[in-house]
Structure 1
Amino acid sequence: MRMKIDVTLDYGLDSPGPALLLVEAAGVQGQILNRASIDLGQPLKSARVPGEEGIGERLILRLEDSLTCRYSAEVEVTRPQPDLQRLSAVEVEDMPGDALRYMLPSRYCPAERFGHFVASRFEGLTGGPLVAALRDWVERNLDYVSGASDGDTTAADTFLDRRGVCRDYAHLMISLCRAAQIPARIASVYAPPVDPQDFHAVVQVYLDHDWHLVDPTGMARADQMALVAVGRDATDVAFLTTTSVAELKTQLVEVSEI
Structure 2
Amino acid sequence: MRLRARNDIEIQCDEPCPLVAILRPRSGANQWVLAERYEIAPWVPASEYIDGFGNLCQRYTLPQGASRVSVESEVEVEDQIAIDRHAPQVPVAMLPDETLMYLLQSRYAPSDKMEERARAIVQGCAPGYPQAERIHDWIRENLDYRYGVSKESTCALDTLECGAGVCRDFAHVGVALTRSLQMPARVVVGYLLGLEPMDMHAWYEVFIGGRWFAFDATQDAPRGGRVRVAHGRDIADVAFLSNYGPLEIKRMEVSVAEV
> TM-score scaled by structure 2?
0.94
Query: How far is the alpha carbon of 1:43 from its aligned partner?
Result: 4.5
Query: How far is the alpha carbon of 1:238 from its aligned partner?
Result: 0.6
Matched residue SS, 2:41: coil
2:37 is matched with which residue? 37
CA distance in 2, matches of 1:152, 1:249: 22
Matched residue SS, 1:34: strand
1:15 is matched with which residue? 15
Question: 1:22 is matched by which residue type in structure 2?
Answer: I
2:70 is equivalent to residue 70 of structure 1: yes
Matched residue SS, 1:106: coil
1:57 is matched with which residue? 56
Given that residues 32 and 77 in structure 1 are in contact (C-alpha distance below 8 angstroms), is that contact kept between their aligned partners in structure 2?
A: yes
Question: 2:119 is matched by which residue type in structure 1?
Answer: A
- Greater displacement, 137-146 / 42-51: 42-51
> TM-score scaled by structure 1?
0.94
Query: How far is the alpha carbon of 1:69 from its aligned partner?
Result: 0.8
Same amino acid, percent of matched pairs: 29
Given that residues 10 and 69 in structure 1 are in contact (C-alpha distance below 8 angstroms), is that contact kept between their aligned partners in structure 2?
A: yes
Instruction: Point out where structure 1 has 5 or more consecutive residues left out of the alignment.
Output: none
C-alpha RMSD over aligned residues:
1.6
Query: How far is the alpha carbon of 1:42 from its aligned partner?
Result: 3.1
1:207 is matched with which residue? 208
CA distance in 1, matches of 2:239, 2:173: 17
Query: How far is the alpha carbon of 1:120 from its aligned partner?
Result: 2.2
* Cα deviation code 1:222-252 (max 9, x no counterpart): 6321111110100111111101122121101
Matched residue SS, 1:40: strand
- Greater displacement, 195-204 / 10-19: 10-19
Question: Following superposition of structure 1 onto structure 2, how do residues 136-215 of structure 1 map, counting pairs within 5 Å?
Answer: 136-215=137-216
Question: Following superposition of structure 1 onto structure 2, how do residues 101-120 of structure 1 map, counting pairs within 5 Å?
Answer: 101-120=101-120
Query: How far is the alpha carbon of 1:118 from its aligned partner?
Result: 1.2
- Greater displacement, 204-213 / 163-172: 204-213
Query: How far is the alpha carbon of 1:2 from its aligned partner?
Result: 1.6
Instruction: Point out where structure 2 has 5 or more consecutive residues left out of the alignment.
Output: none
Given that residues 52 and 230 in structure 1 are in contact (C-alpha distance below 8 angstroms), is that contact kept between their aligned partners in structure 2?
A: no
Given that residues 31 and 79 in structure 1 are in contact (C-alpha distance below 8 angstroms), is that contact kept between their aligned partners in structure 2?
A: no
Given that residues 193 and 219 in structure 1 are in contact (C-alpha distance below 8 angstroms), is that contact kept between their aligned partners in structure 2?
A: no
The alpha-carbon distance between structure 1 residues 224 and 23, as it changes in their structure 2 partners (threshold 3 A), is: same
Question: Following superposition of structure 1 onto structure 2, how do residues 77-96 of structure 1 map, counting pairs within 5 Å?
Answer: 77-78=77-78, 80-96=80-96
* Cα deviation code 1:2-31 (max 9, x no counterpart): 211111101111221310111122211211
Matched residue SS, 1:7: strand
2:122 is matched with which residue? 122
Of Structure 1 and Structure 2, which has the larger fraction of its residues in helix?
Answer: 1
CA distance in 1, matches of 2:150, 2:39: 31
Query: How far is the alpha carbon of 1:64 from its aligned partner?
Result: 1.6
> Aligned pairs, how many?
257
Given that residues 20 and 242 in structure 1 are in contact (C-alpha distance below 8 angstroms), is that contact kept between their aligned partners in structure 2?
A: yes
Matched residue SS, 1:171: helix
Question: 2:11 is matched by which residue type in structure 1?
Answer: Y
CA distance in 2, matches of 1:84, 1:218: 18
CA distance in 1, matches of 2:137, 2:121: 13
Given that residues 185 and 232 in structure 1 are in contact (C-alpha distance below 8 angstroms), is that contact kept between their aligned partners in structure 2?
A: yes
